[in-house]
Structure 1
Amino acid sequence: MTTTMQELHRKKQMSRKITMLTCYDYPTAVLQDKAGLDVIFVGDSLGTNELGYERETSVTLGEIVHHLKAVRRGVQEAYLLADLPYKTYDDPGMAMITARELLSHGADGVKLEGMQEAVISHLAGSGIEVCAHLGYNPQFHEKAAVKGKTYDAARALLESAVSLQNAGASMIVLELIPEELGKAITETLTIPTIGIGAGRYTDGQVLIVHDMLGLTPHPLRHAKNYANAGEWMLQAFRAYAEEVTNGQFPQPANARTMIDSERERFMGWYSGKDRK
Structure 2
Amino acid sequence: MKKTIDFMMDKKKAGQKITMLTCYDYPTAVIQENAGIDIIFVGDSVGTNMLGYKSATEVTLEDMLHHLKAVRRGVEKALLVADMPYRSYETKEIALKNAQLFIEAGADAVKLEGREEKVVEYLTKNNIDVIGHIGFTPQTHEKVSMQGKTFEQGKELYESALSLQTSGLKLLVLEMVPEEVAGLISEYLMIPTIGIAAGRYCDGQVQVINDLLGMTQRKLVHVKEYADYKNSTFEAVQKYKDEVENRIFPHENNVRNMDADELHEFKALF
TM range (shorter): over 0.9
**C-alpha distance in 2, partners of 1:124/1:186?**
21
The aligned residue for residue 15 of structure 1 is 15
**C-alpha distance in 2, partners of 1:185/1:231?**
39
Q: CA deviation at 1:167?
A: 0.7
Structure 2: gaps of 5 or more residues: none
- Counting only pairs closer than 5 Å after superposition, residues 167-206 of structure 1 correspond to structure 2 as 167-206=167-206
Structure 1: gaps of 5 or more residues: 272-276
**C-alpha distance in 1, partners of 2:81/2:243?**
42
The aligned residue for residue 230 of structure 2 is 230
* Local SS of the residue matching 2:73: helix
Runs ≥4 residues deviating over 3 A: none
The aligned residue for residue 124 of structure 1 is 124
* Cα shift readout 1:166-218 (whole Å, capped 9, x = no counterpart): 01100000000000001011011000000000000000000000000000102
**C-alpha distance in 2, partners of 1:229/1:20?**
20
**C-alpha distance in 1, partners of 2:201/2:240?**
45
* Local SS of the residue matching 2:268: helix
- Paired letter, 1:240: Y
* Local SS of the residue matching 1:89: coil
How many correspondences in the alignment? 270
The aligned residue for residue 274 of structure 1 is none
Q: CA deviation at 1:67?
A: 0.5
The aligned residue for residue 103 of structure 1 is 103
Q: CA deviation at 1:229?
A: 1.1
The aligned residue for residue 135 of structure 2 is 135
**C-alpha distance in 1, partners of 2:99/2:223?**
29
Query: Who wins on radius of gyration, i.e. which is larger?
Result: 1
Superposition RMSD on alpha carbons, in Å?
0.6
With normalisation by structure 1, the TM-score equals 0.97
Q: CA deviation at 1:251?
A: 1.4
The aligned residue for residue 249 of structure 2 is 249
Q: CA deviation at 1:127?
A: 1.2
- Paired letter, 2:248: Q
Which region of structure 1 is more displaced relative to structure 2, 247-256 or 116-125? 247-256
